[in-house]
């Protein structure tokens, strides 16, 4: 056994994990059994809103807190499942009364307000399609997405409307209504008060029959490569949300759950809204942005037991010289999961040392709709690995042949394209208005993820890099993640982004952009030390030949280091779509 692996024992858990025998669960798994966990609509079919809210409101969980909202200025609001049912039914009636019909797209542009979460459920009840936008977007990326998504209604605030929507309104002729979440009165015949409409609406709404294949959510990819694409998901994706909540997040009825992702991104909807409520769990929503003290106090004061966050947040916490478990009572916390980009081994170990819990990495994409590969709470963690496929998910490493087919790689530790067998419920159904792009994602019965990886002899998957990030240097193929993870082991390094820089002699040389931990200062001496550290660990051919210090690396709000942007800036090229760039 590798000494760096983190072993688990079932008898060490205060709460018995939902998944104990991975091999048996994987072998015996059936999507039909998952389907049996749902009530289904009284009117017929399957609707996410009914399964997430109404069925609990109609039963023994009616008075249980569904949403605990923490305002950035100290406000605190709670909503029971019963209250969520009534409020979301009101908004479903608002949409119905405004003439919105099945399948029409409703966009949201707001900070994490309670009304936003209520609206999402109401949109799904009226069989409309929720299209979340990130509130930090500028006018141009908002326009791109609303035009591509055929927007009919926008929910936003007075400030965002004035600053970001007014400049583009003339270019959205098909937009019928704008609903202002924080306005007491209508501003015009088409710019309406959310609170007025809600005050006039009935809190009773019968969800119409909903086909499991009806469109539910339209997400836009983060735009780290190329222009954002509209990713179509359907109501049946809720099967994957339930299954991954059970096996990956290990949700139990008494858990207090906190997902730090913004609902403008797929994690913030799939796992910040749908999954906890499918399981009848109290879901914390924090309006405030990242603040280490605030976050630790939230974990302590709200007695959070399951925490889902991102590598960028974890690395920020790692940069702070603190002893969290000595300064805060984190004894209720029993599981930490991370997603957004691959989690460096150093971060996994830091969690074990500083939080008394290892941080579990998992892998999925906007296109998969839910978690596909994970390190499970009861299973051995191999730091740096994505983990193993969830029950019901068949993942493989494939190589593309000259004739357009693919061959699955059977030997362990051989790099190739990370692919998933089609057929799981949350796989996206289309790129909206882009059929050719969608078709190129599939070969035979495989979905090609665009990520390169390898699988070890025990079935654990290891991320190598995006196919278009791979560096070709002196005949070697170098994955940026491997170099980044190695440099992260140096005590001075907080974050790393690695690119290939064109070089006449060797094709590309490996260049690393490094952000330092508190207490360390950039210097030529430290550059030489890091280059030597890399050579010792990786070998001369793979190690970075150039180091550049940056205080903050460019990242998307979902936590991915934007290597594309680092490379563009290094080479003086156009930066392309920066709409998802973190402030």
Share of the chain above pLDDT 70, in %: 95
Please enumerate in sequence order all residues whose Cβ is within 8 A of that of 376, keeping only pairs 6 or more positions apart, or say none. 17, 19, 22, 247, 248, 250, 360, 387, 388
The number of domains in the chain is 2
Q: Is 547 helix (H, G, I), strand (E, B) or coil?
A: strand
Do both 512 and 565 map to the same domain? yes
pLDDT at 224 over 50: no
Q: What is the pLDDT of residue 293?
A: 95
Find the mean pLDDT for residues 422-436.
96
Give the CA distances from residue 153 to residues 257, 430, 468, in Å, rounded to whole numbers and listed in that order. Answer: 31, 22, 36
Helix (H) or strand (E) holding 116: helix 114-125
Q: Which two tokens stand for residue 119?
A: 């609206």
Confidence class for position 74, pLDDT limits 50, 70, 90: very high
Find the mean pLDDT for residues 512-517.
93
Strands 129-133 and 105-109: parallel
465 inside domain? no
Do both 232 and 342 map to the same domain? yes
Confidence class for position 316, pLDDT limits 50, 70, 90: confident
Do both 223 and 348 map to the same domain? yes
pLDDT at 519 over 50: yes
514 inside domain? yes
Do both 445 and 545 map to the same domain? no
Q: What is the pLDDT of residue 223?
A: 47
CATH number, residue 489: 3.30.300.30
What would the pLDDT profile of 287-312 be if each residue is shown by its tens digit? 998 899 999 999 999 999 999 998 87
Q: Are 380 and 6 in contact (CB under 8 A)?
A: yes
337 inside domain? yes
What would the pLDDT profile of 353-362 be if each residue is shown by its tens digit? 999 999 999 9
pLDDT at 476 over 70: no
Helix (H) or strand (E) holding 348: helix 345-354
23 inside domain? no
CATH number, residue 419: 3.40.50.12780
Find the mean pLDDT for residues 82-97.
98
Please enumerate in sequence order all residues whose Cβ is within 8 A of that of 229, keeping only pairs 6 or more positions apart, or say none. 220, 221, 431, 432, 434, 437
- Final residue of a domain: which of 390, 420, 455? 455
Instruction: Using alpha carbons only, give the angle 150, 105, 271 rounded to the nearest 5 degrees.
Output: 125
Single out the residue of 432, 398, 469, 440 nearest to residue 234, CA to CA.
Answer: 432
14 inside domain? no
Find the mean pLDDT for residues 101-114.
97
Please enumerate in sequence order all residues whose Cβ is within 8 A of that of 403, keeping only pairs 6 or more positions apart, or say none. none
Do both 212 and 330 map to the same domain? yes
The pair phi, psi for residue 297, each rounded to 5°, is -65, -35
What would the pLDDT profile of 553-578 be if each residue is shown by its tens digit? 888 766 678 887 888 888 887 665 55
pLDDT at 424 over 90: yes
Looking at per-residue confidence, does 401 or 216 come out higher?
216
For residue 565, give its domain range: 470-571
Give the whole-angstrom CA distance, residue 85 versus residue 87.
Answer: 6
Q: What is the pLDDT of residue 315?
A: 83
Do both 495 and 366 map to the same domain? no
The pair phi, psi for residue 408, each rounded to 5°, is -75, 135
Looking at per-residue confidence, does 94 or 401 come out higher?
94
Terminal-to-terminal C-alpha distance of the chain: 42
The DSSP secondary-structure symbol of 581 reads: B
When mean pLDDT is compared across 70-79, 434-443, 485-494, the lowest value belongs to 485-494
Do both 173 and 254 map to the same domain? yes
Give the whole-angstrom CA distance, residue 14 versus residue 44.
Answer: 40
Q: What is the CA radius of gyration of the chain?
A: 24
Do both 512 and 366 map to the same domain? no
pLDDT at 385 over 90: yes
**pTM to 2 decimal places:** 0.84
- Final residue of a domain: which of 406, 421, 455? 455
The DSSP secondary-structure symbol of 331 reads: T
Looking at per-residue confidence, does 139 or 56 come out higher?
56
* Percent helix / strand / coil, the chain, rounded to 5: 30, 25, 45
Confidence class for position 199, pLDDT limits 50, 70, 90: very high
Looking at per-residue confidence, does 341 or 255 come out higher?
255
181 inside domain? yes
What would the pLDDT profile of 15-65 be if each residue is shown by its tens digit? 999 999 999 999 999 999 999 999 999 999 999 999 999 999 999 999 999
Do both 398 and 486 map to the same domain? no
Confidence class for position 2, pLDDT limits 50, 70, 90: low
Q: Is 219 helix (H, G, I), strand (E, B) or coil?
A: strand
- Final residue of a domain: which of 406, 425, 455? 455
Q: What is the pLDDT of residue 484?
A: 87
Share of the chain above pLDDT 90, in %: 73
Do both 206 and 338 map to the same domain? yes
581 inside domain? no
Confidence class for position 443, pLDDT limits 50, 70, 90: very high
Do both 234 and 376 map to the same domain? yes
Give the whole-angstrom CA distance, residue 188 versus residue 178.
Answer: 10
Give the whole-angstrom CA distance, residue 326 versus residue 300.
Answer: 12
377 inside domain? yes
What would the pLDDT profile of 170-187 be if each residue is shown by its tens digit? 999 999 999 999 999 999
Do both 443 and 307 map to the same domain? yes
Q: What is the pLDDT of residue 339?
A: 86
Q: What is the pLDDT of residue 474?
A: 65
């Amino acid at each position: 056994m590798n000494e760096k692996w983190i072993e688990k024992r079932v008898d060490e858990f205060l709460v018995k994990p939902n998944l104990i025998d991975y091999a048996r669960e994987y072998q015996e798994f059936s999507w039909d059994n998952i389907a049996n966990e749902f009530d289904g609509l009284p009117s017929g079919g399957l609707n996410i809103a009914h399964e997430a809210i109404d069925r609990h409101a109609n039963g023994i969980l009616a008075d249980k807190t569904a949403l605990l909202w923490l305002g950035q200025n100290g406000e605190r609001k709670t909503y029971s499942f019963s209250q969520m049912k009534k409020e979301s039914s009101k908004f479903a009636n608002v949409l119905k009364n405004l003439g919105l019909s099945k399948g029409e797209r409703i966009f949201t542009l707001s900070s994490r307000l309670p009304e936003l979460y209520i609206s999402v459920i109401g949109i799904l009840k009226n069989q409309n399609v929720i299209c979340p936008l990130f509130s930090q977007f500028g006018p141009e990326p908002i326009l791109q997405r609303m035009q591509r998504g055929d927007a009919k209604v926008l929910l936003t605030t007075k400030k965002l409307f004035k600053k970001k929507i007014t400049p583009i309104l003339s270019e959205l002729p098909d937009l019928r209504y704008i609903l202002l979440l924080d306005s007491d009165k209508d501003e015009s015949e088409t710019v309406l008060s959310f609170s007025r409409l809600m005050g006039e609406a009935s809190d009773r709404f019968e969800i119409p029959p909903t086909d499991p294949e009806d469109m539910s959510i339209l997400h836009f990819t983060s735009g780290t490569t190329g222009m954002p694409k509209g990713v179509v998901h359907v109501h049946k994706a809720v099967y994957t949300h339930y299954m991954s909540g059970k096996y990956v997040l290990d949700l139990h009825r008494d858990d207090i759950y906190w997902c730090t992702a913004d609902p403008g991104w797929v994690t913030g909807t799939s796992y910040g809204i749908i999954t906890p409520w499918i399981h009848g769990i109290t879901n914390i929503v924090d309006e405030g942005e990242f603040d280490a003290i605030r976050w630790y106090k939230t974990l302590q004061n709200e007695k959070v037991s399951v925490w889902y966050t991102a590598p960028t947040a974890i690395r920020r916490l790692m940069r702070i010289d603190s002893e969290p478990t000595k300064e805060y009572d984190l004894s209720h916390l029993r599981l930490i999961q991370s997603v957004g980009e691959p989690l460096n081994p150093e971060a996994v170990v830091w969690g074990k040392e500083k939080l008394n819990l290892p941080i579990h990495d998992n892998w999925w994409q906007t296109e998969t709709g839910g978690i596909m590969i994970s390190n499970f709470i009861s299973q051995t963690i191999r730091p740096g690995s994505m983990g193993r496929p969830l029950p019901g998910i068949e993942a493989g490493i494939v190589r593309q042949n000259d004739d357009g087919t693919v061959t699955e790689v059977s030997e362990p530790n051989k790099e190739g394209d990370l692919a998933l067998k089609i057929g799981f419920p949350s796989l996206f159904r289309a790129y909206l208005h882009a059929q050719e792009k969608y078709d190129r994602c599939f070969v035979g019965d495989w979905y090609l993820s665009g990520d390169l990886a390898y699988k070890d002899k025990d079935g654990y998957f290891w991320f190598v890099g995006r196919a278009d990030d791979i560096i070709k240097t002196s005949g070697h193929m170098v994955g940026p993640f491997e170099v980044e993870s190695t440099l992260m082991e140096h005590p001075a390094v907080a974050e790393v982004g690695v690119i290939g820089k064109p070089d006449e002699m060797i094709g590309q040389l490996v260049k690393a952009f490094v952000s330092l931990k508190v207490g360390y200062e950039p210097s030529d001496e430290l550059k030489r030390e890091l280059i030597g550290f890399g050579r010792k660990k990786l070998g001369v051919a793979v190690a970075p030949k150039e180091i550049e210090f940056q205080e903050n690396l460019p990242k998307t709000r979902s936590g991915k280091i934007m290597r594309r942007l680092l490379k563009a800036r290094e080479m003086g090229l156009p930066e392309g779509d920066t709409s998802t760039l973190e402030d």
